[in-house]
Structure 1
């Protein structure tokens, strides 16, 4: 789309650009205003629902409290408390006159039979009613919604226990006062609420039955609304705003309030009616935006046409100049930006003509300069090739020196008391791993180390280490702590002279008559027992990397242990345990130990081949990132 736009004429691009720069901000402003307007309209609608619901809840609560007060006042009368029917009847008749919606006040004994009635009808049994059971149980005010036996229509019965105090003792329940009243006033309060064209209010009891509803058929039979979403939410203890969809797929916004007596007051309105004004505002915004777009586009088209005509003339002159006609010029009548551009073109055209006249001579001069530069580059390339050849030869020589100082197979075969197998492989031409096996009158010393990194510096330090260790061993110095201390001082100074940051982890292991001495810090030393079990010796507390500090005497220590026939030792560098495969998983010491356990009953060479086979299978095609060394010997 963007590429197609840039292929159109400048007139169209200017029109689209200016129109877009006006319409897009306008649309953004309208979008924000519409959103804010919709939020205000929604808030006003919700506030209206809340106000109506609070008003209804307040009026219903007042009505309930008024009825309860009438009942409590009657219950305080001595005639009511004495439980004599002939004395109670006038009091009940006087009470029925207080409130026109009350159609019956009666008293019942503790068995549920009438003692007196305000309507003077035959006395009945009401012991099966829940309001009676709750009052006898001691509930101060009980309410029950039912179809009255007297009027045969929905009504509510309020009840309270009648108590007497005998001889100053605790009051005892001697009967029940019950007051039956229609829901006419509550229904009138509900019908008085009108929210828009679709909104209305209703009242339910604690079980979800309709008590008052603007549609009379909904409450005449105490219709059960406990599954209606706002009623269900209220029963579950969640009042307040709720948006829901009824069985006819109409969406509603409701506000519900839980009353002190357990009832619920609910006011609701269809969501579509709430959003009507929002939709009208959106329609007006769209019509306005389209009108502005058409007006801006028309004005822009006229301005673009007047602007582009001189540009076309300038473009024609540029094309002819590009074809070689350097005598072109354009008439600059206006002093605006386009006129200034025309003047600049005329000046440029004259300069081009002058430059073209001088170009051929300058080309000849520059060609000579390029020829000289090419000769210099050729000489530098030749010198670089020679330098690379020299450095490659030096690396090959150092690699050869490293290989020359490693123990030869025939040397290892002369050590008859041990079965020895070794392996070393560098990640680059020159590695930093080091191992050596040095027989001497005091036994056989195994050395294994790892110079940080690899390359020329690491290889030189490896050779230095081998020479220094061999010199110290050959000088009959078999005190490992003394050897490591001297070695560290020597290499520390050489490393400083080389201006290098390298150091070496190094362990010395001396074997003599089934007895081992281990000193120096390196990877773990693995001891294999004849029965196939393995022991891992941590060397972290036996030394410090060589060349890291000038004096490492306080850190040096040694460890001794005994071997038996079939026992052996495995030495390695971290190039094995820290190698990663294509999935970035590390080979690890645990996997190495698993392979050693499985193959320990074999010879050292077979054990070595098992380890290398498993290692190569693990890393697959991943190139080595570090040198690897493996030394195994068995008694």
Structure 2
């Protein structure tokens, strides 16, 4: 009696429909999910490499502009230091050349010469001679360096200014004096500030002592700012595609640094979110496509599982009816060419056999 009631109440638990559905989903979803994970991982690696290479290229291109600017000024010094008038080491011979340099190049606000004892000889501004023997650029040249340089704050502009110096050499390559030019960095700063990477990316130029020369956001103050705190400057190892992401003041950035020929440091940085915006967009689109694919797979799996489970349920119902004596039930699946059709025909034969057995029993009575 209990068995009959259990049969009448229908199947319990994890029915064949859900078993077929689960099996089909596992077969379809696992490969799709695996392929999606691999493709997303590979896409992230590719995007990371692309972002890094873009930073390297932007930094290198800007560094070339900085190097070209400094090389131009060094050539200017080199050419003029060899002229006969400059070799005369007299104010009368040198002043016309120094004045011409200042008048020709807008960024040069002073061109001057210094004797080996530190005393000023010629000046482009016509002012009284001064003593320069205590200046770093002078000491560097007199100490044997081919280039002397010193960064200082301009008294008039209140902005960083640069002094470049070259030795004035005799025919025997003996130092007769020093030729120097004092320059504003406005043209150089303009090249830095005009460099934009997307909406949030910019460049920073530092001297060899990590003092700020130019900032893409115009943050140059009336003092020489120490930028050693920048996370890129604190990172001592060589930057690569695996270590160019930093946190600056609580904000995630991507950044790269490059050393110029003058020993200056050039940093190019960009907000992480903007740098990876296309990657995030591509990932979101992939997630949408994956979700749509999974929904389609589940729907198709359900339809197919239901297509298989429904006739089995009908045959189960017919078999139940036959067990209760209803031998006239119509078996609609017997024309199918698969296993379900074979089961339907077997149930049909069972019903016929039972009908024949019942007929024989009635005749004997």
TM-score class normalised by the smaller sequence: 0.7 to 0.9
CA displacement 1:475-517 (0-9 Å, x = unmatched): xxxxxxxxxxxxxxxxxxxxxxxxxxxxxxxxxxxxxxxxxxx
Structure 2 portions without partners, runs of 5+: 1-11, 354-365
CA displacement 1:332-377 (0-9 Å, x = unmatched): 33222211234467789999xxxxxxxxxxxxxxxxxxxxxxxxxx
- In structure 1, the residue matched to 2:252 is 251
- In structure 2, the residue matched to 1:153 is 159
The DSSP-based 3-state class of the residue aligned with 2:226 is coil
Aligned pairs for 1:89-238 (under 5 A) are 89-149=95-155, 151-165=157-171, 170-218=172-220, 220-233=222-235, 236=236, 238=238
Q: What's the TM-score, normalizing by structure 2?
A: 0.81
Judge conservation of contact 1:230–1:254 (CA < 8 Å) in 2. Answer: yes
Q: What's the TM-score, normalizing by structure 1?
A: 0.48
Note the C-alpha offset of 1:273: 1.4
Structure 1 portions without partners, runs of 5+: 1-5, 352-635
Judge conservation of contact 2:154–2:161 (CA < 8 Å) in 1. Answer: yes
The DSSP-based 3-state class of the residue aligned with 2:145 is coil
Q: CA 1:302/1:142 → structure 2, altered by over 3 Å: closer, same or farther?
A: same
- In structure 2, the residue matched to 1:298 is 299
Note the C-alpha offset of 1:317: 7.5
User: For the residues of structure 1 that align with 2:237 and 2:71, how far apart are their CA atoms?
Assistant: 23
User: For the residues of structure 1 that align with 2:23 and 2:221, how far apart are their CA atoms?
Assistant: 65
User: For the residues of structure 2 that align with 1:127 and 1:259, how far apart are their CA atoms?
Assistant: 28
Structure with max Cα Rg: 1
Name the Cα RMSD after superposition. 3.1
The DSSP-based 3-state class of the residue aligned with 2:121 is strand
User: For the residues of structure 2 that align with 1:74 and 1:118, how far apart are their CA atoms?
Assistant: 14
- In structure 1, the residue matched to 2:73 is 67
Judge conservation of contact 2:246–2:252 (CA < 8 Å) in 1. Answer: yes
User: For the residues of structure 2 that align with 1:150 and 1:110, how far apart are their CA atoms?
Assistant: 28
User: For the residues of structure 1 that align with 2:59 and 2:267, how far apart are their CA atoms?
Assistant: 6
- In structure 2, the residue matched to 1:31 is 37
The DSSP-based 3-state class of the residue aligned with 1:198 is coil
CA displacement 1:122-148 (0-9 Å, x = unmatched): 211222211011111121111211113
Judge conservation of contact 2:164–2:182 (CA < 8 Å) in 1. Answer: yes
User: Aligned residue pairs: how many?
Assistant: 337
Q: CA 1:151/1:200 → structure 2, altered by over 3 Å: closer, same or farther?
A: closer
CA displacement 1:547-581 (0-9 Å, x = unmatched): xxxxxxxxxxxxxxxxxxxxxxxxxxxxxxxxxxx
User: For the residues of structure 2 that align with 1:133 and 1:93, how far apart are their CA atoms?
Assistant: 24
The DSSP-based 3-state class of the residue aligned with 2:244 is strand
Judge conservation of contact 2:82–2:169 (CA < 8 Å) in 1. Answer: no
Note the C-alpha offset of 1:101: 0.5
Judge conservation of contact 1:19–1:297 (CA < 8 Å) in 2. Answer: yes
Aligned pairs for 1:402-413 (under 5 A) are none
| Greater alpha carbon shift after TM alignment, 209-218 vs 55-64 | 209-218
User: For the residues of structure 2 that align with 1:299 and 1:153, how far apart are their CA atoms?
Assistant: 71
- In structure 2, the residue matched to 1:621 is none
- In structure 1, the residue matched to 2:286 is 285
Q: CA 1:125/1:148 → structure 2, altered by over 3 Å: closer, same or farther?
A: farther
The DSSP-based 3-state class of the residue aligned with 1:18 is helix
Q: CA 1:121/1:314 → structure 2, altered by over 3 Å: closer, same or farther?
A: same
- In structure 1, the residue matched to 2:49 is 43
CA displacement 1:111-170 (0-9 Å, x = unmatched): 2221111011121122221101111112111121111356543111111222335xxxx4
Q: CA 1:109/1:288 → structure 2, altered by over 3 Å: closer, same or farther?
A: same
User: For the residues of structure 2 that align with 1:282 and 1:237, how far apart are their CA atoms?
Assistant: 31
The DSSP-based 3-state class of the residue aligned with 2:118 is coil
Judge conservation of contact 2:246–2:254 (CA < 8 Å) in 1. Answer: no
| Greater alpha carbon shift after TM alignment, 128-137 vs 8-17 | 8-17
User: For the residues of structure 2 that align with 1:278 and 1:244, how far apart are their CA atoms?
Assistant: 15
CA displacement 1:601-624 (0-9 Å, x = unmatched): xxxxxxxxxxxxxxxxxxxxxxxx
Note the C-alpha offset of 1:230: 1.6
| Greater alpha carbon shift after TM alignment, 246-255 vs 143-152 | 143-152
User: For the residues of structure 2 that align with 1:295 and 1:239, how far apart are their CA atoms?
Assistant: 44
Query: Aligned pair 1:267/2:268, yes or no?
Result: yes
Q: CA 1:250/1:118 → structure 2, altered by over 3 Å: closer, same or farther?
A: same
User: For the residues of structure 1 that align with 2:159 and 2:288, how far apart are their CA atoms?
Assistant: 57
User: For the residues of structure 1 that align with 2:247 and 2:310, how far apart are their CA atoms?
Assistant: 65
Q: CA 1:150/1:219 → structure 2, altered by over 3 Å: closer, same or farther?
A: closer
The DSSP-based 3-state class of the residue aligned with 1:269 is strand
